[in-house]
Amino acid sequence: MKKFDYHIPKSLEEALSLFKSLENAKYIAGGTDVLVNIKRKKESPSHLISLRNIDSLKVVEKKDGLKIGSCLIHQELLKIEEIRTYYSALYDALTKLGSKQIRNVATIGGNICNAAPSADTACPLLVLDAQVVIFGEKGTRMVPIDDFFEGPGTVAKEESEIVTSFELPSFPKYTGSAYIKHTRREAMDLAMVSAASRITFAAEDQSLLRDFLSSKGVEELDKELKNYPLFVKEARIALGVVAPRPFRAKKAESCLEGKFLNEETLREACEKAAEEAQPRDTIRGEAWYRREMVKVLTKRTILLSVKRAIEMCS
């Protein structure tokens, strides 16, 4: 492995000024991507600036939604009860990322800034309308996550800028979200396809949701949809691996948003999502199969979101 100098700043300002003053520098958080890239000679920075000892990057604020610091490791995030309860899609992703060993060092900021099309936390943050908080020379700015991903490995920030946190809005109670990662293995694997969704129902449907649960339970959900005209106030669907960047399948979303959820609208949404996907043939999976899986995962993640929304109202 090529040699580099390692710097450990204690504040954002110090990190930024180090970056500015050093030649060929790069920020590093958990290092589960950066160090692998260096070993594989995909990049060769002369200086690594660690963000791990900057306390402000590890904040957790639970007011009007949730704010999570970019340098929190995945295993720490898993302990935040609000994520499990209100941001289930993100929770799903945290349980599926890498392995426990990886989750113990890898950070959410690293996962997002690495911007792999398969990044596990990307699709959940997309459906949860996350804002990316970025610190730089000109101060702090916010970017909606949908605008943050530009392409494989590229994000909408200057190299010197540091992603400090992610802000998630609070959603009405009658909201559910989910993330499904389709892999060949149960751990240490990249998604062949991944999908996340969020469904927020209309406030007036709350009693209907409760009825649904008491009458049939959620196990028979897909069959029962026609008997319960649930109105979808807001729908989010995001897909991973099937495009150069994780993206929101907005045509699929519009099949559901402002409509009643039934077998037909659900199928349309899945078909649209498959159309929006641009899967490729790689050694990790064949395009035709990935497109098929977009349909299956979209359906499953929406049903899981609905199920969770219903459970939230019980």
Partner 1 sequence: MTFNAVGQKIPKKDAPLKVTGQALYIDDLELPGMLYGKILFSKYPHARILNIDTSKAERLPGVKAVVTAKDFPPNFRIGFMKDNPPLKGNKVLSTRDEIAAVCAISPEIAEEACELIDVDYEVLPGVFDPITAMREDAPILHEELGSNVLKLPWKLVCGDVEKGKSESKYIVEDTFTTQWVTHCCMATSGCIAHFDINNNLTLYSNTQIPSLAQNDFLEALNALGLKNRRVRIIQVTIGGAFGSKLDTYPYEYIAILLALKTRKPVKIVFSRDEEFFATSPRQCTITKISQGCTKEGKLTFREVEMILDNGAYTSWGATTPSVMMMPISSLYRVPNVKYEAKCVYTNNTYCQAMRGYGNPQATFAIESSLDHLAEVSGIDPYDLRMINANQPGEITPQGFKITTCGLKECLEEVAKRLNWREKRGKGGGKRGVGMASLIHVGGGARVYKSDGCGTIIKMDDFGKVDVFTGATDIGQGADTVIAQIVAEELGIPVEDVNVIHNDTDVCPWDVGVHASRTTFVAGNSALYAARKIKARLTEIVSKILEIPQEDVEIRNGIAFSKSDPQKSIPVARAIRRAHFTTGGSMLMAEHFYDPNNENLGKDFKGNLSTAYTYGTHGVEVEVDTETGKVKILKYVAAHDIGRAINPLLLEGQIEGGALMGIGFALSERLIYQNGYLKNGNFLDYKILTVRDAVPVETVIIETDEKEGPYGAKGIGEPGLVPSAPAIANAIYDAIGVRIKDLPITPEKILKALKEKAGTGNKA
Residue 117, number of CB atoms within 10 A of its CB: 22
Nearer to partner 1, 14 or 292 (CB): 292
CB closer to partner 1 out of 44 and 314: 44
Rg of the chain taking only CA atoms, in angstroms: 20
4 lies in the site for partner 1, by CB under 8 A: no
Hey, what are 265's tokens? 């609208």
Stretch that binds partner 1, among 43-51, 52-60, 109-117, 180-188 (CB under 8 A): 180-188
The yes or no reply on residue 219 touching partner 1 (CB under 8 A) is: no
Question: What values do phi and psi take at 261, rounded to 5?
Answer: -80, 115
Looking at 71, 145, 270, 293, which residue binds partner 1 (CB under 8 A)?
A: 293
Q: Taking CB under 8 A as the rule, does residue 268 contact partner 1?
A: no
Residues 96-155 that bind partner 1 (CB under 8 A): 99
Instruction: Count residues binding partner 1 (CB under 8 A).
Output: 20
* Residues of span 72-91 touching partner 1 by CB under 8 A: none
Q: Which is nearer to partner 1, 95 or 170 (CB)?
A: 95
Question: By CB under 8 A, which span of 48-56, 103-111, 144-152, 286-294 interacts with partner 1?
Answer: 286-294
| CB nearer to partner 1: pick between 211 and 292 | 292
Taking CB under 8 A as the rule, does residue 191 contact partner 1? no
182 binds partner 1 (CB under 8 A): yes
Task: Work out whether 187 is an interface residue with partner 1 (CB under 8 A).
Answer: yes
Shorter beta-carbon distance to partner 1: residue 128 or 294:
294
Q: How far is the CB of 187 from partner 1 (least distance, A)?
A: 4
Question: Does the protein bind partner 1 through residue 251 (CB under 8 A)?
Answer: no
- The residues in 55-74 that bind partner 1, with binding defined as CB under 8 A, are none
Q: Which is nearer to partner 1, 125 or 193 (CB)?
A: 193
The residues that touch partner 1, with contacts defined as CB under 8 A, are: 1, 99, 182, 184-190, 283-286, 288-289, 291-293, 296
